[in-house]
Amino acid sequence: MAKRIIPCLDVRNGRVVKGVHFKGLRDAGDPAELAKRYEEDGADEIVFLDITASIEGRRPFFDAIKRASEDVFVPLTVGGGIRSMEDIAALLRSGADKVSINTSAVQDFGLIMKASDHYGSQCIVVAVDAKGDGASKWDVFISAGGRATGLDAVEWCKKAQELGAGEILLTSIDADGTKAGYDIELTRTVSESVGIPVIASGGAGNADHVYDVLTKGKADAALAASIFHYGLYSISGLKGELARRGLNVRL
């Protein structure tokens, strides 16, 4: 299977933002405009995350997704503020191809089961925000990384698969926004523990980091934000570099 390169659009108040360790957010542009630009540059998929919806207790940003889906034809994964089957249905009607559930998945295991049974596991992505606690263990955090759950990240990923998740979006809080590289050990441990695709997130700073997480980390896809938003790499340029190193990517 070809390795996927996925730009991530973290959205707050209708604008794409990016920070470090989920904090210090800076404006990075309009979501629909960025999504179209990334599609034209070769993105395999695009992830939209409404990063404050769960904290603010509001529903996802349906209008922005509908606007983006009218001009973007690669798969769209949308997360943030999803609390019910009704939210999932509304997002899919708005143009999302997959939904990413994080906080609500932890709070209500049944939501994963019901959603995967009704819409198919291919539509259901469980997002896992993990922070290291030493000794090669990682804790699961929810509410945009602001609340510890006491769950072990690797065990939670395995449980999410059992409940019906079709994919894991795995973010290292420790690496997020640092551009110092993905958490290879975390990604590899989860990838070897589940039988569904793992999207690695958090820490991309250059082509070496992406190559490492797709090979040493055994991820099926690499998600990145800062390197694309601020012009450090184009998606096509990054894919070309990965292909020259022997990775199977869609050019």
Catalytic residues, by residue number, are 10, 129
Q: Which of 42, 98, 39, 49 is nearest to 72 (CA)?
A: 39
Residue 15: the pLDDT is 74
| Residue 251: inside a domain | no
| Residue 35: inside a domain | yes
Residue with tokens 């659009």: 9
Q: What is the CATH number of the domain that holds 240?
A: 3.20.20.70
| Residue 166: inside a domain | yes
Residue 18: the pLDDT is 59
Per-10-residue mean pLDDT for the chain, 251 residues long?
A: 94 69 59 90 94 59 82 93 92 95 95 98 97 91 90 98 98 93 98 98 97 98 91 96 98 90
Is there a contact between 225 and 233 (Cβ–Cβ < 8 Å)?
no
CA dihedral over 131, 182, 193, 77, signed as positive or negative: positive
Residue 110: the pLDDT is 97
pTM of the model: 0.91
| Residue 157: inside a domain | yes
Q: Which of 124, 126, 133 is nearest to 106 (CA)?
A: 126
| Residue 28: inside a domain | yes
Residue 21: the pLDDT is 52
| Residue 116: inside a domain | yes
| Residue 249: inside a domain | no
Pairing of strands 4-12, 15-20: antiparallel
Is there a contact between 69 and 89 (Cβ–Cβ < 8 Å)?
no
| Residue 250: inside a domain | no
Could you give the number of structural domains in the chain? 1
Show the domain range for 227.
Answer: 4-244
72-75 long-range Cβ contacts below 8 angstroms, 24+ apart = 72/32, 72/35, 72/36, 72/39, 72/46, 73/39, 74/39, 74/43, 74/44, 74/45, 74/46, 75/44, 75/45, 75/46
For the beta carbon of residue 200, count every other beta carbon within 10 angstroms: 34
User: DSSP secondary-structure letter at 196?
Assistant: S
